[in-house]
Structure 1
Amino acid sequence: MPRKPDVPCKHPGCARLVPYNQMYCDEHKPLHSHDREYACERGYGRAWQRERKKYLQLHPICVRCYEEGKIVPATVVDHIVPHRGDMKLFWDRENWQSLCKHHHDVKTKTEDRDVEYRF
Structure 2
Amino acid sequence: MPQAIPRPCRTGTCSNVTTNRNGYCEEHQAKASGWLNQDRGSSSQRGYGGRWKRIRVRIMRRDKALCQPCKAEGKVMPAVAVDHIVPKAEGGTDADENLQAICKLCHKLKTEEESRRARGRGQNFQA
Q: Give me the TM-score of the superposition, normalised by structure 1.
A: 0.61
Supply the AA of the counterpart residue of 2:85.
Answer: I
In the alignment, what sits opposite 1:103? 106
Q: Structure 2: give runs of 5+ residues left out of the alignment.
A: 1-28, 30-37
Out of 11, 27, 47, the residue aligned to residue 51 of structure 2 is 47
Contact 2:84–2:94, Cα closer than 8 Å, also in 1: no
Supply the AA of the counterpart residue of 2:124.
Answer: E
For the residues of structure 2 that align with 1:54 and 1:72, how far apart are their CA atoms? 18
Q: Give yes or no for the alignment of 1:79 onto 2:84.
A: yes
For the residues of structure 1 that align with 2:67 and 2:83, how far apart are their CA atoms? 10
Contact 1:42–1:85, Cα closer than 8 Å, also in 2: no
For the residues of structure 2 that align with 1:107 and 1:36, how far apart are their CA atoms? 19
For the residues of structure 1 that align with 2:57 and 2:97, how far apart are their CA atoms? 16
For the residues of structure 1 that align with 2:48 and 2:126, how far apart are their CA atoms? 15
Contact 2:81–2:103, Cα closer than 8 Å, also in 1: yes
Count of paired positions = 86
Supply the AA of the counterpart residue of 1:39.
Answer: S
Percent sequence identity over aligned pairs: 38
User: What's the CA shift for 1:85?
Assistant: 9.2
User: What's the CA shift for 1:96?
Assistant: 0.8
Out of 51, 66, 75, the residue aligned to residue 70 of structure 1 is 75
Moved over 6 A (4+): none
User: What's the CA shift for 1:54?
Assistant: 1.5
- When the two chains are superposed, the root-mean-square deviation of aligned CA atoms in Å is 2.7
Q: Give me the TM-score of the superposition, normalised by structure 2.
A: 0.57
Supply the AA of the counterpart residue of 2:62.
Answer: L
Q: Structure 1: give runs of 5+ residues left out of the alignment.
A: 1-30
Out of 98, 121, 125, the residue aligned to residue 117 of structure 1 is 125
